[in-house]
Structure 1
Amino acid sequence: MFEENPVTAKDGTQVMTWYFEGDKDKPLILYFHGNTGLMARFAPAITKLTNEGYSVAMMEYRGFGNTKGKISQDVIFSDAVAFYDYYKNKTDNDKIIFYGYSFGCAFAMGLTQYRDPDGIILTAPFSSLYQEVKEYPVPLAFLVLKDKYPSDEYIKNIKCPILLIHGNKDMLIHHSHSQRLFDLAPVKEKQVVFVDGINHHDIFFKEHNLPVILDWLEQFN
């Protein structure tokens, strides 16, 4: 069962978070969900990690659920810092993993510019929202894109192990985005896994990424 913890953002907004306390000798996982639902939609798949003893915290975005406001790149990165700091101080876990799915990968990568994780998991990420919109069938939409969420720039500064997982039948975000991020990551401890025949939705919600994640997390236990 997750407990609710409102976190006070830099501007005073109460950002709702959910937290499950697992084993202290395992890393705390800060999870960033996709943009098409509330934390409750993504929680069932996340509970597979809590069943394995991992502590997990999730953050609700501005304009979603009980978190008021409007989402933007600057705001979400600032909220992610407050989220990290709150659980860094609240918990006794020695290591913290950033885990994003879909759009949430951009938030996880943005947080790396302000706080250093011990590991990063990205499931079905885009290399940047700019690049994703360029590939989307809306003519010249990328020319008016305000927030670019440039994970392909942020990843050049990471210093920790990173795992990327992508379905090779993803029609929303092409798996080449994960390959690009893998190629740009400057660390030796990096892995990219392409799951055959799996689309954007099923890679997470049908948990095709879970066995890979659980194997990868063993290095931190």
Structure 2
Amino acid sequence: MIYSPPRQANFFMIFSHGNGCDIGTMDTFMKILSDELNTHILIFEYPSYGLCQGSVDINKTTVNNHAERAYSFVHETLHWPTDKILMYGHSIGTGPACHIASTKPIGGLILQSPYTSIQNVITGLIGFPGYLFGNSYWNNLETMKYINCPTLFIHGERDGLIPSEHSKTLYNSLGHIENKQIILLPDDDHNSISYTMSSSCVKSFLKQFFPPSNQLLPEINIDPEFRVPPETIQTSSSIFSYNPFTSLFNLSTVSINATQSVYNSMFSNQYNNQ
């Protein structure tokens, strides 16, 4: 799905959405971002989400592949210059966004409510050692060492799902980058950051690190069908539905407590049997 402002765009943003939505539910936010930031936006879908149904399993590799195809379309098909390409990842979507930023040349990276690693999120939620779930999930902290573009972190300080310490750790790991910014919102949690607040944060970031340019950018001619938002048809699929830890970002307090109890019991029995 592609969005364009009513005037000549200054950037082309590739957006990786969070776990509990699809490109249909993101329509309002994409319109706000496109208009407020004066940017084209391509929001791509994950396997088994929304309209993207099929036999492809959903995992880090397949989602990263979709992100790479989105990047290839913007840069190689539309011939958009790399220094004017922005990656924006939200929550689980910060994984594929960091993947692109660490492997492809881009102009800037925006991470809203990011995590250091999925393993650390698991440990923080249930106290269960995240490494026991393997290393097949995104590790943004490891990826940071390969990122060299201006980077913005946006995080709510009341976020109980992915605490703001994750953003602080990621920000501090970018010691090799001068053009970085972290915005901590004291009254927001994981899902309460408003569209207008997100847009305002990004607008300030772009103004600070991307001075006005007279660079001639290509005209974008897209078939109208790619500008018509789909109906909201988010399925019950979760990005972790094919993995041992199902629906990580949809865990309830009850399920967290139950898993914690099983974990404590398991290790207690192991200790008593020694």
Q: 2:30 aligns with which of 36, 39, 46?
A: 46
Paired letter, 1:56: I
2:104 corresponds to: 115
RCO comparison, higher one (Cα < 8 Å, 6+): 2
Task: Give SS of 1:105's match.
Answer: helix
TM-score, with length taken from structure 1: 0.85
Q: Shift of residue 206 of structure 1?
A: 4.6
SS in 2 for 1:120: strand
**Long gaps (5+) in structure 2:** 213-274
Matches within 5 A, 1:72-151: 72-94=59-81, 95-137=84-126, 139-140=128-129, 142-151=131-140
* Root-mean-square deviation over aligned CA pairs: 1.8
Looking at structure 2, the residues matched to 39 and 142 of structure 1 have their Cα atoms a distance apart, in angstroms, of 31
1:187 and 2:177 equivalent?
A: yes
CA distance in 1, matches of 2:129, 2:166: 20
* Letter paired with 2:40: S
CA distance in 2, matches of 1:111, 1:21: 22
Segment of structure 1 superposing worse, 85-94 or 36-45: 85-94
TM-score normalised by L of structure 2: 0.69
Superposed counterparts of 1:191-202, under 5 Å: 191-202=181-192
* Percent of aligned pairs sharing the same letter: 22
Which residue of 44, 49, 66 maps to 1:64?
49
Q: For the pair shown, which has the larger CA radius of gyration, 1 or 2?
A: 2
Within 2, Cα distance between the matches of 1:155 and 1:162?
10
Name the CA distance, whole Å, in 2 between partners of 1:140 and 1:92: 45
Task: Name the aligned partner's letter for residue 187 of structure 1.
Answer: I
**Structure 1 residues not aligned, in runs of 5+:** 1-17
Q: Deviations over 1:22-55 (max 9, x none)?
A: 4555010100000112111122112111113210
Does the residue aligned with 1:31 lie in a helix, a strand or coil? strand
1:141 positional shift: 5.1
Q: Is the 8 A contact 1:202 1:208 kept in 2?
A: no
Q: Give the aligned partner of residue 3 of structure 2.
A: 20
Structure number having the greater helix percentage = 2
> Are the counterparts in 2 of residues 25 and 93 from structure 1 also a CA contact under 8 Å?
no
